[in-house]
Amino acid sequence: MAIEQPDLQLISGIYRGIFEQSPEYWQENIDRLLVNDKLVRYYSSLILTGEIQKIHLDALLDLIKKGVLSPNEANRLSYGSVIDDVEPTVVANFCIKLSKEGEQGSWSALNVLYMYCYTNKAAINTLRDTLKVVTAAVPLHKDQGHSTIDVYHWHDMAERLLRVEDKEFASALTNQIITASKHGLNHGDIWSYLKPLMLQLMNEYGEVLWPIIADAIDRSEAMDLYWLQQLLSRETGLNGDVPSVLSNVSEDVIIEWCLEHRDLGPVFVAGCINVFERVDGELQPTSLLIAILDHFGGDKRVTGELNANMATRGWSGSLVPYLESDKKTLSPLLTHKSSNVRDWVVDQIAYLELRITEESQRDEEYSFGFH
C-alpha cells in the first residue's frame, strides 16, 4: 500500500545518514528523485541533507522552470548556510536565472543572495553587479504577497550597496519604487522601508533623481498620484517626524517645475511638503511653504491642500499645546510682503483660534468626567 504523505523528517534523516556513509550513494539516490514523479517534489528538501553543488542548483532551477516546483522552493537554500561552500559565481548565475521566474522567483533569488552574503561577508563585493540587478528587480507592490522579512532583506541590501556611490543603481531603485506605486503599496512598507530609502536616495542623489520623480508625477493620475504622495509626503506621529522627500530638492527647482505644471504641480507639492522645520531648536515655517504660497496662494486648490497638510499630525494628551504652537509659528508671517502669504496665514490663525477654543472646552469637559 502506497504512503500518500511520507514523513519528510524521517526521510531526510535517512538521506543524511546515507550521505555520511557514502556521498556517492547519496548522489545516486538524489538523482533517482528526478525521475520519480511522486518523489521529485521533495528534491529541494532532500538536497539539503548533503553537500549542495552546482549540479543540484541546475537541477532545482530546471524543475522550477518546468513548473514541477514552485520558485518559493528555492528559499530553502537561504537558511542553514547550506550553500556557503558553493562558488560565488555559481550562486550568482543561479540567482540571476531564478529571478526571471516570475515574482516569486525574484524574491527567492534575493533571499538566497542576502543570506549567502550574510555568512560570506566578502561576497557582497564579488557579487555586487548581480546583487544590484536582483535587488532592483523584486516587485514591491502590495498584491504580490511578499513578507515583512522579504522587504527587510530588500531594504538592507539596498542600503549596503548604496555605501558605494552609484547613480545608476540609485536611479534603478527609484524607478522600482515608482513602478510599484502604480499598483498600490502596503502602508507599513512605506513607513518602515520605502520612504526611509527614498529620503536617503534623494539626500545623496537629489539632482539625478528629481527628474525621474517629476516625470512620474506628471504622468500619473488618480490612485497613482495618491501612492506617490504617500511616498513623498511628510509624516508626523507619536514616534517622531519624518520629513518630506521633497525637502531634499532645491526650492528653486520645485518652484520652477510647479510653474511649468500649474494644473498639477503646486497642488501636489502643497500636500507633501514640510510646513514647519526646526532651526536652532525653534519651529519656523519652511521657505518652500512660503514660496508655494507666494506663487500659488491665490489657487484655492493649493491652499486647500496646505490646510489638509497642516491638519495632519499625531499627538498625545491635549491638542491645545500643538495648536498654540502652530499659531505662534505662523504669526510672524502676518506681516509678510506677499498678500498671498498674509491672507492664508490670517485664515489659518482664525481657524487655529477656533480649534483652540473648542479643544480647551473639550479638555475641560473631560476633566469633569463629562466624556
C-alpha 342: how far from chain center: 38
What's the pLDDT at 222? 79
Burial of 98 (C-beta count, 10 Å sphere; 0-12/13-18/19+): buried
Angle formed at CA 182 by CA 242 and CA 129, multiple of 5 degrees: 80
Lowest mean pLDDT among 173-182, 274-283, 340-349: 274-283
Cell of 247: 525637502
Distances (CA, A) of 289 to 196, 202, 278, 280, 299: 22, 19, 14, 19, 14
DSSP per-residue letters across 253-284: HHHHHHHHTTTTHHHHHHHHS-SEEEETTEEE
* pLDDT score for 237: 60
Q: Does 236 have pLDDT greater than 80?
A: no
How does residue 153 score in pLDDT terms, banded at 50, 70 and 90? Answer: very high
In a domain, 155, yes or no: yes
Domain assignment present for 364: no
- Nearest of 143, 134, 216 to residue 174 by alpha carbon: 216
Bin 12: left if φ > 0, else alpha if -120 < ψ < 50, else beta.
Answer: alpha
Supply the mean pLDDT for the chain: 92
Cα–Cα distances in angstroms (integers) from residue 252 to residues 256, 287, 309, in the given order: 6, 10, 21
Q: Are 170 and 204 in contact (CB under 8 A)?
A: yes
Share of the chain above pLDDT 70, in %: 96
Range of the domain at 180: 142-224
- If you count them, how many residues does the chain have? 371
* pLDDT at residue number 109: 97
Is the pLDDT at 125 greater than 50? The verdict is yes
Q: Are 244 and 202 in contact (CB under 8 A)?
A: no
Cell of 170: 540609485
- Look at residue 315 in the predicted model and tell me its pLDDT: 74
Inter-helix orientation angle 265-272/251-260, to 10° = 140
- pLDDT surpasses 60 at 370: no
- Report, as an integer, the average pLDDT of 138-149: 86
325: enclosing H helix or E strand: helix 320-330
Residue 215 lies in a domain: yes
Decide if 261 is inside a domain. no
Is there a domain that residue 167 lies in? Answer: yes
Residue 163 in any domain: the answer is yes
> What burial class does residue 284 get, using C-beta atoms within 10 Å of its C-beta: 0-12 exposed, 13-18 middle, 19+ buried?
middle
Q: How far apart are CA 336 and CA 112, in angstroms?
A: 58
Which residue, among 136, 125, 126, 144, has the nearest Cα to 99 in the 3D structure?
A: 136
What pLDDT is stored for residue 368 in this prediction? 64
Q: How confident is the model at residue 1 (pLDDT cuts 50, 70, 90)?
A: very low
Tens digits of residue pLDDT in 94-104? 999 999 999 99
Rounded CA-CA distance 191/194 in Å is: 7
pLDDT for residue 2 is more than 80: no
What gap in Å lies between CA 342 and CA 333, rounded to an integer? Answer: 6
Cα–Cα distances (Å) from 290 to 167, 285, 306, in that order, read: 32, 7, 11
Identify the three-state secondary structure at position 212.
helix
Answer yes or no: is 199 within a domain: yes
pLDDT digits (tens, 9 = 90+) for 14-59: 999 999 999 999 999 999 999 999 899 999 999 999 999 999 999 9
Contact between 341 and 290 (Cβ < 8 Å): yes
**Could you tell me the three cell numbers for 89?**
559565481
Whether 204 is covered by a domain: the verdict is yes
Q: Give me the amino acid identity at 72.
A: N
Collapsed DSSP state (helix, strand, coil) of residue 241: strand
Any alpha helices (H) in 127-250, and if so which ranges? 128-135, 148-161, 167-181, 187-189, 195-219, 222-232
Q: Which amino acid is at 78?
A: S
Q: Distance (Å, rounded) from C-alpha 314 to C-alpha 328?
A: 19
Work out how many domains the chain is built from and give that number. Answer: 1
State the pLDDT confidence band at 235, using cuts at 50, 70 and 90: confident
Determine the pLDDT at residue 369: 61
Has residue 297 got a pLDDT over 70?
yes
Between the ranges 117-126, 242-251, 331-340, where is the mean pLDDT highest? 331-340
